[in-house]
Structures are given as structure tokens and as C-alpha cells.
Amino acid sequence: MKKERVVIIGSGPAGLASALYTARAQLNPVVIVGPQLGGQAAITSEVENYPGFPGGLSGPDLVDKMKEHAESFGAEFVYDIVESVDFTNGSPFRVKTMMEEYSADAVIVTIGADPRKLGVAGEIEGVGKGVSYCGTCDGFFFRGREIVVVGGGDSALEEAIFLTRFASKVTVIHRRDEFRAGVQLQKRAFDNEKIDIIWDTVVEDVQFGDDGQVNAVGLKNVKTDDTSTFPTEGVFIFIGHIPNSPIFGDQLAMNERGYIITDDRMRTSVEGVFAAGEIQDEIWRQVATSVGQGTSAAMQAIHWLEEHEEDLQPLDETPEPAGD
């Protein structure tokens, strides 16, 4: 078992910021990268709203720069996936990955949430070619174009309204004949002249033109079973997110949707375990906000470790695994 002061689970912007700050505090954090270095940021084609980069840069480039920055202060990145954790006995915590087992004095959880997918043909291959899960990230690229928004919750309507700043027309496609979104948002959507609504309809596939870009969606009315092709250049999907929290089971307090509950200092329900980014934030979901939360979590972890300095075992004394 490897003994570490800080283990960071996840390598999105929150994890990368936590890595930088804890590394700079000379804690030599270990970052368990997970399935995708950079998380959702790594699949964002263009990030134009991260401060300090006028003209923007690609998600992968930003992730590489953040990783390099954290490594320059001593963060270690391990390409591995966390299988289970044991927070039940307090610090030091057990973190078991596919290849290793760690004992960590403090843990920062930045494992993110994934946009729920429609699961239709063309959806995944359309990412970067017209399919998007983030209006703030990609709306700008659809100036003057006609796009569709899929979903009927607060996110779908909020993003549809936001996207009317760019698109010439936004057609919301919802599977029922009433929205789940709050009434105020509904009123704003109904009052917006650029927004049309198609009720009782699901997207069956995403279609592409000869240039490889999205040019239509296949639709089906769930009441009549009528099918049709709806031309569009952009497909924005907002049908909820799925937080990557199941590995924590009941060890961390979560809300009813599976997001980890943190206080204003990014502390979870377990002392010494902190969380940042989209695993605990259902609302903002920006690279910049995740970086801020990751920074706060790291600073709080640094404070917490300082406060408990006398209780910490030296890093060269590896505790034996309990019960095995």
C-alpha cells in the first residue's frame, strides 16, 4: 500500500487545480486520473471563456497546460481508475484503484458528472460536429444558425433562452406535452420569439451532411408514431447529468440526485475528505468555476492537514491493510 498525504480522485479542471495548489504546498499529491485525463474539458473542442486566454484554446490544450503546471510543483499523475474507497474509519483513508491501494491522510474528490446521453445513432460521433452538451461553451459557434435543444427541464429551457443570443432560431424538442422546468423559465421560453417547441417528440438519430457536419435530426412523435426529418445545424442535449458518485456508496452525504454535499469550504460529511467541481456542483459547470472550487478544496485540505500535523504518520511508515 502506498502512503500519501493527499490523493485526488479525478483529473478534470477541479482536480488539476487541487493538484497544483497541494503540490505547491509541497504535499506531493497523487492524482488518480480516471478514464479520461481532463474529464469533460478534454472533449471540449474550444474553450473561449477561461480567463487569461483571449482567442481561446482547445480543451485538450488547456488540460495539458494545467497538468504540466501541477507536475512542475511535484504532482504525480497515475493513469488508473478508482474501484473503491474506505472512509469509514476516518483519516488515513483507503483508496483502492485497479492497480494499487493507497492510504491517504486527505482525499479530494473531483470525479465529475457526465451529461446524460440520448443514446441515439450519430449522437457521440456528432460531438464537435454540431452536437453539444454545453451552451455556454459552444453557443457562440452557432451565431445566426438554426439549432435544436433536447429536454424539458430547467437546464434545457435556461440554455435554450441563452442560446437565442446566438442562434437565429431555437427549437426545443421535448418528449412530453408539458415541461418539467419551473414556471418562470417556461414563461420566458414561451415569450421568446426565437423559441419554437415540438411536444411529445423524441430524437431518433442525428444525421450528417456531405461535409461531415450535423444537418438534421430524425424525430418521432410518441403519441402518433409519425416520423420526420428536421433540418438543423446544432443539437444541444440537456436531459440531466449523472454524477460519478456510486463508488462512494453511503460513505459521503449526497443529495437525492447523487451529488456530494459540501459546505462553503468544500468539506464533505467526512472530515478530511473534500469535494470540488461537478461532483458537487449541479449548477455552474464551467472550467473556471471548477478550477475555483478545486482551489478552495485544496486550500482547505492544506489547512486541515496543518491542523492535524501531529496526528499524521510519517510517509515512510506504511500501515498494514486492516483485516487482509
Return the range that interacts with ligand NAP (CB under 6 A); candidates 14-22, 72-80, 152-160, 213-221: 152-160
∠ CA(46), CA(47), CA(51), 5° rounding? 155
Query: Is 176 a binder of ligand NAP (CB under 6 A)?
Result: yes
Which one of the spans 73-81, 91-99, 147-155, 163-171 is the region binding ligand NAP (CB under 6 A)? Answer: 147-155
Whether residue 137 lies in the annotated active site: yes
Annotated catalytic residue, options 64, 80, 114, 134: 134
Catalytic status, residue 80: no
The residue (of 70 and 156) whose beta carbon lies closer to ligand NAP is: 156
Identify the bridge partners of residue 286 per DSSP, sorted by sequence position.
none
Catalytic, 138? Answer yes
The 99-138 contact track toward ligand NAP, x by CB under 6 A, reads -----------------x-x--------------------
CA atoms within 13 A on the CB side of 273: 26
Nearest to 69 by CA among 290, 315, 291: 291
Is residue 153 a contact residue for ligand NAP (CB under 6 A)? yes
Q: Which is nearer to ligand NAP, 87 or 259 (CB)?
A: 259
Among 91, 97, 103, 155, which residue sits at the site for ligand NAP (rule: CB under 6 A)?
155
**Rounded CA separation 127/104 (Å):** 37
State which residue, 107 or 189, has the beta carbon closest to ligand NAP.
189
> How many of the chain's residues bind ligand NAP (CB under 6 A)?
17
Per-residue b or e along 29-41, where b marks 16 or more CB atoms closer than 10 Å to that residue's CB: bbbbbbebbbbbb
Task: Give CA–CA dist 7/105, Å, rounded.
Answer: 8
For the annotated catalytic residues, the residue numbers are: 134, 137-138
Residues that bind ligand NAP (CB under 6 A): 116, 118, 151-156, 158, 175-176, 180, 202, 238-240, 282
